[in-house]
Structure 1
Amino acid sequence: MKPNAGWEASWIWSGGEESPRNEWRCFRKPFPLPSEGTTGPVRLKITADSRYVLYVNGAAVGRGPVRSWPFELAYDEYEIGHLLRLGEVNTAAVLVMHYGVPTFQYLRGRGGLLVQIESSDSEGSRTIIAATDNTWTTSLHTGFDSRSPRISCQLPFTEVYDAADWNEGWTATGFDDTAWDNASVIGPVGMEPWTRLIERDIPPLTEEPVYPVRVESLSRVKPRTWGVVLDLRNHFVPSSEHHANNVRFYGYLAMVIRTSTAARATIGIVDNGRLPGSCSLNGVWYPDSDFYGEKPKRFLDIELQRGDNFLMLALKGTIHGHGFHFGIDCKEPFEIISPLADVAGTNTESHSPFVTLGPYDFIEIIDHQPVRPLDESHPDYDRAKSIRSAADLSEFSGSLRPVDNRYVSRDDVFSRCIWTTQAVRLPVPYSLQQAVVANGAAAAVPVYPGEDTELIIDFGKEYTSYIELDVAASAGTILDFYGLEFMENGWRQDTFELDNTMRYVCREGRQTYSSLVRRGFRYLMVVVRNAVSPARLHRLSMLQSSFAVAEIGRFRSSDALLNDIWEISKHTTRLCMEDTFVDCPAFEQAFWVGDARNEALVNYYVFGDDAIVKRCLRLVPGSQFQTPLYADQVPSGWNSVIPNWTFFWAIACLELYEFSGDRGFAEQIWPSVRSTLDHFAEKLDERGLLHIKAWNLLDWAPIDQPRDGVVTHQNLFFVKALRSAARIAEETDPAGADRLLARADALKAAINAHLWSEERGAYVDCIHADGRVSSVFSMQTQVVAYLCDIAEDERKRRLERYIAEPPAEFVQIGSPFMSFFYHEALAKLGRIDIMLEDIRTQYGSMIEHDATTCWEMYPRPLERRNHPSELTRSHCHAWSAGPGYFLGAYILGVRGLNPGWTKVAIEPNPAGLAWAKGTVPLPGLGRIDVSWHADRASGKLRLRVETPPGLDLSIAAPDGYELELERVELG
């Protein structure tokens, strides 16, 4: 079938801006359905830019589309016949959320909606019932605030909703939309930027109701007086609205604080977007060192004079897209006035109270390389430091610019939640626990005059979800929600650089709401503001949303700690399976290509799914228009390459084939694998080593991995990627496979010739661009050399000793991600005992701190924490979920021996355990159930194996044990 065949609908949008920022737009189409002639199923096909929620006759049907490249945009198809009424008018309604900015999972396109409703009879004849055209009506959804701030540079916008400002019956048949506009047809299927449509290749994500377990705390609070979030990146550098790369610039932000009396105030830069915050008040400069507080939450006490006070902030730095959270607290009344308020011709409707000077220069940073050095010599930057009042700005009219309102939030929910000037914690009355009980009874939230009421709700585990609420409240009551991952001993870890908030403004009476933005959290802060009477919470829950899989895998053993570690590994992996694998459900929700290799292996053992893996692997080559080396996170507006991440992708392509046995996938992906590895080969220097300017990352540890030079671990993984690619091509392109194997052998020889230190008896970390050989020796480099079969003879034996007993003077493993490769090396060495002890030690520290998911990092050293309990950034990171793989593969001992796993090895490893049992999924064949008991006294291991019929098993007893086998073959 030709691309885009079968579509008769047209792309539609409003008649306004082509790609509006943070626009929530509604579309409707009533359509009749005859009582006769409609015999077959009725299907609705839909896609949109950027995301949609679909309703049919008022019922929510689905969300989408899945993340995809605009030139291969995915569409969804729903069977909707059960929602339709024969012989009556039915209504399709769609809410489209258009971002208007790129993210780490979306490239900016333009606003657009495409819908086609069709039926077919038993003979395959198709009838178009309705399709998007200019008869559809549309309206801006005024309930949502288009000036809400960015969640983070990786994600779009927060959710601020006023229930009184919109008729929620708009999705139902019979709604009067005569005041709405007719949609505008913007083009046919196949138009730019959506030149090719592809059917969604995974099932819809789950939406599972989850209730909290308890109200964790109750407090009376007073927040700071005033706060906003500014998008300084897009204001200072408007072209940055088209990409998600870092931007470096410098300039000033200015405003006037007007008071009727002299007053003491505190200004706060609550989350600075990685920009410094020195400032001047009425010409007196306060350096950055005068600010106090734990970065990035910093404060400065100032004295305001009666009348106008001119405040100016110096801004110089690199910013990725995070919001600049700025606030003021003052007991006396004040207002923020534009320094241009008294200037004739100033448009005060579209412009905020803020003005900027500059930028005096700016640069874009593409693939971690500045396009040129930033010119920091502009004379006006230093001259502007003498400005004392708004009147002095007239001398800088050439660089003076008001900040458009669209870059300034109306309020900052995040700083309102975390910056309180008074907080009194109270006992939680039992009656308040009704807020979390799934019985429909209501909990009355107490009202404290002049203060707000803060609840923190514990859901018992981290989830990735949509918030749902059922509340009765007075009109204008504000419910602010803030999701947190970690609390301990009364301290909470705030999510800086993640505005994980939502605001709901109540209408009068009882109401329900289901949020439209997915968030990751365990704890949910709920702050009730402006209530004239107690709000009654009938229900506060979530819809857990993740990739649809069955939890087939199991693991239990005589070690309760290992059991807990396996459980958090499973839960972490599930939360990080959305429409692709993602790094974490909270901070980024980005498909990081290298992370996904390890996540895929865990998934095979816990869930047994390969559809999400294929989807992820197929997405990666779409980034070739950004770089032939393939991007490290896709689809994304950030042009970024981590060479190892591309090598892991090539390795994962082989591992998918080895698991699934899908030869068609191998043949399809091979040209892309070959292409990118050929481009990496162009980076080989005269020594035959990979020398590249890039983000040469492997581990968050002080290993020597410069962004320009020969980095040993990358050369090692390049060898493994070349060998993996050759295995993919063995049947379809033998000549190509031989060529890659020859290249791998040559690279191995070059590594051994230039990157081995005879003096130290180990591989060096790197050779710098200036030719200097690194003096750093790390466990990371030795582990990867051993895994990639680079060393031979005595060199190999040395690596084996290092892996079993890491030298103290080597840089040690620094993250759970790197531990995955270390544990692979230990398994290859046969030291399962060391692997288990390392898992117990490292992951046991997470369990000790009540972890329900695996952390991004092992606990930070004290000197790197802003607070003693700040142990890691993300508390749910699937690159850390390795035990979910290793316990099944090496303790149960189940490993596939051929593509498709029709031949399977079962080689249990007691490693000091008395017993273990569990399940390992088989690709499309069912599962293997394994249980074993090890009797040290008798030297016997009783093993029971239950399998589908016809499976070829290779069963081996562990060293020192005699095997007693019971095999059960089903069917």
Structure 2
Amino acid sequence: MMTMNWQAKWIWGEGVESPRNEWRCFRKTFDVSAVAESRSGAKLRITADSRYVLYVNGTRLGRGPVRSWPFEQSYDTYEVSHLLKVGEENTIAVLVMHFGLSTFYYVRGRGGLLVELNDADGDVVVATDTTWLTSRHLGQHPRAPRMSVQQAFSEYVDATAWDSSWMELADNNTGWSNAIALGSVGMAPWTTLKPRDIPMLTDETVYPVRVESLAKVRSFHATTAIDVRNALNDGSEDHANRIEFTGFVVTSIRANCAGLVTLGFVHGGECLRALSINGEVISQDQIYGAIPERYMDVNLNEGDNLLVIDVSDNLHAGKLQFGVYGEESGELSFVAPVELLADQSASTFFRIGPFDAIIPIDHQPVRELNWKHPIYLELLGSLKRPEDLEQFVDWFSPIDPKYVSEVDVFALSVWRKENVKFAVPAQLQNAIIPNTEAGIVPLFEGYDTEVLFDLGKEYSGYLSFEVEAEAGTVLDWYGFEYLSGQYRQDTFDLDHTLRYVCHEGRQVYETPIRRGFRYLALTVRGAKVPVRIYGVTFIQSNYPMAEIGRFECSDALLNDIWEISRHTTKLCMEDTFVDCPAYEQTFWVGDSRNEALVSNYLFGVQDILKRCLRLVPGSKHQSPLYVNQVPSGWSSVIPNWTFFWAIACAEYYEQTGDEAFAVEMYDAIRYTVEHYLLKIDESGLFNVEGWNMLDWSPIDQPNDGVVTHQNMFLVQTLRVAAQMGRIAKDEGGAAIFEAAANELASAINEQLWDEEKKAYIDCIHADGRRSESLSIHSQVVASLTGVVQGERKQIIDAYLVQPPEHFVQIGSPFMSFFYYEALAKLGEVRLILDDIRHHYGMMIRHGATTCWEQYPNFLENRANPDMLTRSHCHAWSSAPAYFLGREVLGVRSLTTGWTEVEIAPVPCGLTWAKGSVPHPAGGRIDVSWSADESNRTIQLKLSYPEGMMARIRLPEGYTGSITEMKLGIL
């Protein structure tokens, strides 16, 4: 038995503890001849901060670690015997990507690698120490822009500067140095190590289905992306919280000759309050385009032109992306105002300020910014020449170049001054088919060439390509989700780009950075000879699961909807459930409750949910109310998300019957619920300052005050706490929570019911003002949680069946999930199907291969009628895969652990349906039925595991036959 004691040391290279966006390579060469006899059971354990890619003798073995809190660092274990070479030298190589800042899925630690190879007896063969060699990946540009505040960095790799075979056995170690030992296992910040608690993710090769288009294009002549957030707010790398500040960014635009240029800003609306060129403030009527694209045409003088940008803002991402295009002005570039500080000319951009800065707490600022600071008010229009900056020398400092990207590939990819399309030649179209001749990318003199690939549907994983090119040829890759005719939905708050500078000849590159997209634009820049494409592939990577769930029926539209729900859920199962594979890749706690229910009906896997639920209490050092995404550097609380987590803990117990886990989670539930009870005000209602959200729609749900739906979900959470308390044999605690639930429900019915309007209002504001709006949301939650009773329930249930037009309507498929749950309790399955056909059918008509985050015309996408939703793949929207199995097939658990299951199909006008639902104890429940509505007959066939008791119920008013088959259990 191999011991879990570690002999390895944490190692890193020279430099700062937590470098920004550093790729560091490690390798160790060793001989296995001494352990040849016992190598059959060799196991390698590894972890790193932030992420690693592991190679053994040049073969990529795995990626990791799974996301975790640094104080509960996860490590992976690999069987490596099949890769070791007996009697020869072997090489373990690891690429470690250290972020150097906190994201929505990583809390900043420090750079580090830990590796240990043990034989079958547990004896150490190789372990990280100072004999390991290390080098920074010299081809990787650490100044690549942030992807987004949720994620780490985009990618810029120069293959001419780094040998791609570095992970193999090397005769020449020039430029490599010995690693530095940081300390033993148990050192901070990784005080505890935990073995990986889920299987390794999958590798599934996917090919594009076609070349969508070919075009010659022109874009900006000079671009940059500046991390304003970190550049103007020292220490902000340690968290991902919102920041408010006042300040300026200053540079000069150098033009070879005077002329008209276009200055374009292409980002999510932050960091551009105002700007001036050579002291002339750009007025609003000079700016065209709408957020996130804003452009202006300005005249530049020959030489240097002073650009001052007011970047004051309440921001989260804090990325300033812009470019300049000019045909008349010759070469354009950004340069430092060297007359001011010649000794600091290495820095191209400078900052003035910040004059005031705040980190808001729970979505509310602790105080107001000082917008009347005298320097702030006078500065913008007073700077005409670089020497004018001298009067602000006390506020003036260079921006560290690490915050300033050499190029913004995203801006170059989304803005085209010219975009002329051509028919795709057959030889280029065939390049996507394996084992065919190379596709040749045509050259256009004076232009770049864009080739757009379509993967056929969205995927989540890692891009790989094989090309032949001349050294120095630039390949800019950019992935996005949606295309419709001439409209391309560019991801302005997400940078899914990769710049790859080719070395001479034929070459293969596989990115170590996860991305999610359907469409992939390749722009070839600076090529003197045509690039030859030998292959573009995508490695789909997700939690491994058998696709047990099935559904098919007489309605082809419902079949298509079920399929996009299945594919969406699969893409959003990584090392945790995530909200989406593109924009965030974040474990949003509330989203995962609904995702888990869908997954139960599709895949039947439980380990992924178990690790999700266990991660949440780790956020108590950020807030005793638990934060809404974990592990994360953003200390943000959505109370409903914590409530959904507690509800999901109870649902996990009901699904699996895992009593030990229920007892384990009860302590964490009790801890946070006790803190939530402290937020009950003197009126007896839950009153909290936080992100009081439920849906992307204009509900009156202020971030401070009493929010009705939130109070109702707290009632349900208190009852869940009581249920879990009884399982944990804490009868006293259970009684307290049950009493608190009853008291809160009474207060809701006394104070949040409007007798005149016969409905629950949405909220009571902090100033005591009662909401004037009514929403279907508050009525849905009242019914779903059981808060409403008696005659009022009849009124509310009627609203659910026919939502009044003057109520605020549902804005996202996430809220529809709760609506469908409430309708299912009322037996209104036909209404569920009608709503699914309406909303999801619209997605299908627009070519959706995955489920959208929002319904059109709500909040974020109102300004652009072509923008149907923000994210085109969001697992919180996969409700149909759950409800079609639960209601149409009629498979519903009646007891904990599914020992008794009801099978009660509901035809709702369908003539037949068939499918499968996984059983949590193993096996599956197969259901097939055909119905004749005219004579009200149904034939039902089913099979299920022998240890399960089936309660079979034909639809009301139907007669028919039932054929059962019980399957034996091994």
What secondary structure does 2:152 align onto? Answer: strand
Q: Which residue of 1 aligns with 2:536?
A: 540
What secondary structure does 2:77 align onto? Answer: strand
Q: Which residue of 1 aligns with 2:9?
A: 10
| Inter-partner Cα distance in structure 2 for 1:651 and 1:344 | 59
Q: TM-score by structure 1 length?
A: 0.98
Does structure 1 residue 374 correspond to structure 2 residue 373? Answer: no
Of 693, 696, 699, the match for 2:695:
699
Shift in Å, 1:176 = 1.9
Does structure 1 residue 859 correspond to structure 2 residue 838? Answer: no
Of 660, 670, 676, the match for 1:674:
670
The 8 Å contact of residues 269 and 277 in structure 1, kept in 2 or not, is answered as no
| Inter-partner Cα distance in structure 1 for 2:244 and 2:341 | 33
Instruction: From the superposition, tell whether residues 505 and 553 of structure 1 become closer, same or farther in structure 2 (CA, over 3 Å).
Output: same
Q: Which residue of 1 aligns with 2:772?
A: 775
Q: Within 5 A, what are the aligned runs for 1:352-431?
A: 353-385=348-380, 386-431=382-427
In structure 1, what residue type is equivalent to 2:98? H
Report sequence identity in percent.
52
| Inter-partner Cα distance in structure 1 for 2:872 and 2:260 | 39
What secondary structure does 2:298 align onto? Answer: strand
In structure 2, what residue type is equivalent to 1:774? S
Please identify, of 340-349 and 917-926, the stretch whose mean Cα deviation from structure 2 is larger: 340-349
| Inter-partner Cα distance in structure 2 for 1:821 and 1:367 | 25
Encode CA deviations 1:107-157: one digit per residue, 9 max, x unaligned.
Answer: 000000001111123xxxx21011111111110001111110000000000
| Inter-partner Cα distance in structure 2 for 1:183 and 1:273 | 43
Q: Which residue of 2 aligns with 1:527?
A: 523
In structure 2, what residue type is equivalent to 1:17? V
In structure 2, what residue type is equivalent to 1:21? R
| Inter-partner Cα distance in structure 2 for 1:865 and 1:435 | 39
In structure 1, what residue type is equivalent to 2:854? M
Shift in Å, 1:338 = 4.1
The 8 Å contact of residues 696 and 859 in structure 2, kept in 1 or not, is answered as no
Unaligned runs of 5+ in 1: none
Please identify, of 427-436 and 889-898, the stretch whose mean Cα deviation from structure 2 is larger: 427-436
Q: Which residue of 2 aligns with 1:796?
A: 793
Please identify, of 565-574 and 762-771, the stretch whose mean Cα deviation from structure 2 is larger: 762-771
Encode CA deviations 1:816-861: one digit per residue, 9 max, x unaligned.
Answer: 1100000111101111111110000000100000000000001226
Shift in Å, 1:365 = 1.6
Does structure 1 residue 296 correspond to structure 2 residue 292? Answer: yes
| Inter-partner Cα distance in structure 1 for 2:681 and 2:843 | 44
Encode CA deviations 1:45-65: one digit per residue, 9 max, x unaligned.
Answer: 000000000111111111100
The 8 Å contact of residues 889 and 915 in structure 2, kept in 1 or not, is answered as yes
The 8 Å contact of residues 220 and 415 in structure 2, kept in 1 or not, is answered as yes
Encode CA deviations 1:761-802: one digit per residue, 9 max, x unaligned.
Answer: 111111111111111111000000000111111001111111
| Inter-partner Cα distance in structure 1 for 2:840 and 2:341 | 64
Shift in Å, 1:435 = 2.0
The 8 Å contact of residues 273 and 319 in structure 1, kept in 2 or not, is answered as no
Q: Which residue of 2 aligns with 1:968?
A: 965
Q: Which residue of 2 aligns with 1:572?
A: 568
Does structure 1 residue 154 correspond to structure 2 residue 150? Answer: yes
Q: Which residue of 2 aligns with 1:33?
A: 32
In structure 2, what residue type is equivalent to 1:884? A
Encode CA deviations 1:247-270: one digit per residue, 9 max, x unaligned.
Answer: 111111111222232111111111
| Inter-partner Cα distance in structure 1 for 2:359 and 2:470 | 48
The 8 Å contact of residues 258 and 337 in structure 1, kept in 2 or not, is answered as yes
| Inter-partner Cα distance in structure 2 for 1:869 and 1:273 | 19
| Inter-partner Cα distance in structure 2 for 1:260 and 1:612 | 58
Shift in Å, 1:865 = 4.1
Q: Which residue of 2 aligns with 1:57?
A: 57
Q: Within 5 A, what are the aligned runs for 1:702-713?
A: 702-713=698-709
Shift in Å, 1:334 = 3.7
Shift in Å, 1:864 = 4.9
Of 237, 242, 256, the match for 2:238:
242
Instruction: From the superposition, tell whether residues 461 and 317 of structure 1 become closer, same or farther in structure 2 (CA, over 3 Å).
Output: same
The two structures, once aligned, show a CA RMSD in angstroms of: 1.6
Please identify, of 536-545 and 324-333, the stretch whose mean Cα deviation from structure 2 is larger: 324-333
In structure 2, what residue type is equivalent to 1:55? Y
| Inter-partner Cα distance in structure 2 for 1:361 and 1:243 | 19
Please identify, of 730-739 and 417-426, the stretch whose mean Cα deviation from structure 2 is larger: 730-739
Q: Which residue of 1 aligns with 2:842?
A: 845
Encode CA deviations 1:472-501: one digit per residue, 9 max, x unaligned.
Answer: 111111111111100001210000110111
The 8 Å contact of residues 221 and 332 in structure 2, kept in 1 or not, is answered as no
Instruction: From the superposition, tell whether residues 498 and 919 of structure 1 become closer, same or farther in structure 2 (CA, over 3 Å).
Output: same
Q: Within 5 A, what are the aligned runs for 1:746-757?
A: 746-757=743-754
Q: Within 5 A, what are the aligned runs for 1:9-158?
A: 9-35=8-34, 36-38=36-38, 40-121=40-121, 126-158=122-154
Does structure 1 residue 627 correspond to structure 2 residue 623? Answer: yes
What secondary structure does 1:589 align onto? Answer: coil
Shift in Å, 1:637 = 0.2
Q: Within 5 A, what are the aligned runs for 1:438-837?
A: 438-732=434-728, 733-837=730-834
| Inter-partner Cα distance in structure 1 for 2:336 and 2:125 | 57
| Inter-partner Cα distance in structure 2 for 1:650 and 1:592 | 14
In structure 2, what residue type is equivalent to 1:11? W
| Inter-partner Cα distance in structure 1 for 2:60 and 2:468 | 23
| Inter-partner Cα distance in structure 2 for 1:38 and 1:686 | 70
Shift in Å, 1:863 = 11
Shift in Å, 1:5 = 5.0
Q: Within 5 A, what are the aligned runs for 1:912-951?
A: 912-951=909-948
Does structure 1 residue 871 correspond to structure 2 residue 873? Answer: no
Encode CA deviations 1:647-688: one digit per residue, 9 max, x unaligned.
Answer: 000000011111111111111111001110111001001121
Shift in Å, 1:287 = 2.6
Instruction: From the superposition, tell whether residues 389 and 737 of structure 1 become closer, same or farther in structure 2 (CA, over 3 Å).
Output: same
In structure 1, what residue type is equivalent to 2:750? A
Shift in Å, 1:272 = 4.9
In structure 2, what residue type is equivalent to 1:110? R
Does structure 1 residue 307 correspond to structure 2 residue 303? Answer: yes
| Inter-partner Cα distance in structure 2 for 1:129 and 1:513 | 31
| Inter-partner Cα distance in structure 2 for 1:890 and 1:863 | 33
| Inter-partner Cα distance in structure 1 for 2:331 and 2:935 | 83
Give the number of equivalent residue pairs: 964
Please identify, of 27-36 and 846-855, the stretch whose mean Cα deviation from structure 2 is larger: 27-36
In structure 1, what residue type is equivalent to 2:637? V
What secondary structure does 1:6 align onto? Answer: coil
| Inter-partner Cα distance in structure 2 for 1:861 and 1:746 | 35
In structure 2, what residue type is equivalent to 1:207? D
| Inter-partner Cα distance in structure 2 for 1:114 and 1:39 | 21
| Inter-partner Cα distance in structure 1 for 2:760 and 2:491 | 39
Instruction: From the superposition, tell whether residues 322 and 939 of structure 1 become closer, same or farther in structure 2 (CA, over 3 Å).
Output: same
Encode CA deviations 1:353-403: one digit per residue, 9 max, x unaligned.
Answer: 111211111111232122322112211112213121101001100001111
The 8 Å contact of residues 477 and 520 in structure 2, kept in 1 or not, is answered as yes
Shift in Å, 1:322 = 4.4
The 8 Å contact of residues 222 and 332 in structure 2, kept in 1 or not, is answered as no
Q: Which residue of 2 aligns with 1:214?
A: 210
In structure 1, what residue type is equivalent to 2:8? A
Q: TM-score by structure 2 length?
A: 0.98
The 8 Å contact of residues 644 and 717 in structure 1, kept in 2 or not, is answered as yes
The 8 Å contact of residues 272 and 325 in structure 1, kept in 2 or not, is answered as no
Shift in Å, 1:633 = 0.4
| Inter-partner Cα distance in structure 2 for 1:135 and 1:357 | 46
| Inter-partner Cα distance in structure 2 for 1:344 and 1:682 | 55
Please identify, of 42-51 and 806-815, the stretch whose mean Cα deviation from structure 2 is larger: 806-815
Of 160, 165, 182, the match for 1:164:
160
The 8 Å contact of residues 256 and 332 in structure 2, kept in 1 or not, is answered as no
In structure 2, what residue type is equivalent to 1:22? N
